[in-house]
Amino acid sequence: MKNAKPTAAAAVAPATADASNPAPRADHAHPHAHDPRHEHPGYAQGTPASAEAALALAEEYCRERGEKLTPIRRKVLELLLTSGRATKAYSLLDDMRQIHPGSAPPTVYRALDFLLSAGLVHKIESINAFAVCHDLTQCQHGILVVCQQCGNVTELHQPALREALVAQIENAGYRLAGDGIELKGLCSACQAAQAAGS
């Protein structure tokens, strides 16, 4: 799909015209705003340089907000970028303990809370895991499609579709509890593995 964006280091920058020229949305309830004229460079797919570029972007963005991407916050974001998929907090804690043996759960949870509030990561409620936002700082959060088998997350950036869906939800008398919309599925790689195994 042309407007599908993996939420990982392989696609931490906008890849479509929709994402590269974002406009503010009335239904967006994120606690921060982003100047739509502020453009970000693209990143080479799957390279260490792409993760480094994404981390540099995140640090710059935090400075613009008057906040700091501390070494712990940066490391948690780096772990999410390099994992390439949604990752559970306890897995991040295990990874942190490989680097900093004394790491405790509150350390990782506080870092995740910051990254969530800054809009740098998404919490994937359906699998209780975290993934990097597809554009990191442009706040144009889309519809997340989550593979229920491997945890791969793809963000569909279709503002008109999202707005129509939110309107239908509100017409039914509901209000979204957050700005996340998740769909469950099975990614193409897992479908292929399943077909090969049957």
User: Of 168, 131, 169, which Cα lies nearest the Cα of 7?
Assistant: 131
Check the annotation: does 141 bind a ligand. yes
Q: Is 62 annotated as ligand-binding?
A: no
Q: Which residues pair with 153 in a beta bridge?
A: 146
Which uninterrupted H or E stretch holds 121?
strand 121-124
Beta strand 121-124 with 129-132: parallel, antiparallel or unpaired? antiparallel
What is the C-alpha to C-alpha distance for residues 150 and 49, in angstroms, rounded to an integer?
A: 25
> Is 187 annotated as ligand-binding?
yes
What is the spatial distance between Cα 47 and Cα 155, in angstroms, rounded to a whole number? 20
Cβ–Cβ contacts within 10 Å for residue 39, how many?
Answer: 11
Q: Is 139 within any annotated ligand binding site?
A: no
Binding residues for Fe cation: 141, 163
Binding residues: 141, 147, 150, 163, 187, 190
Binding residues for Zn(2+): 147, 150, 187, 190
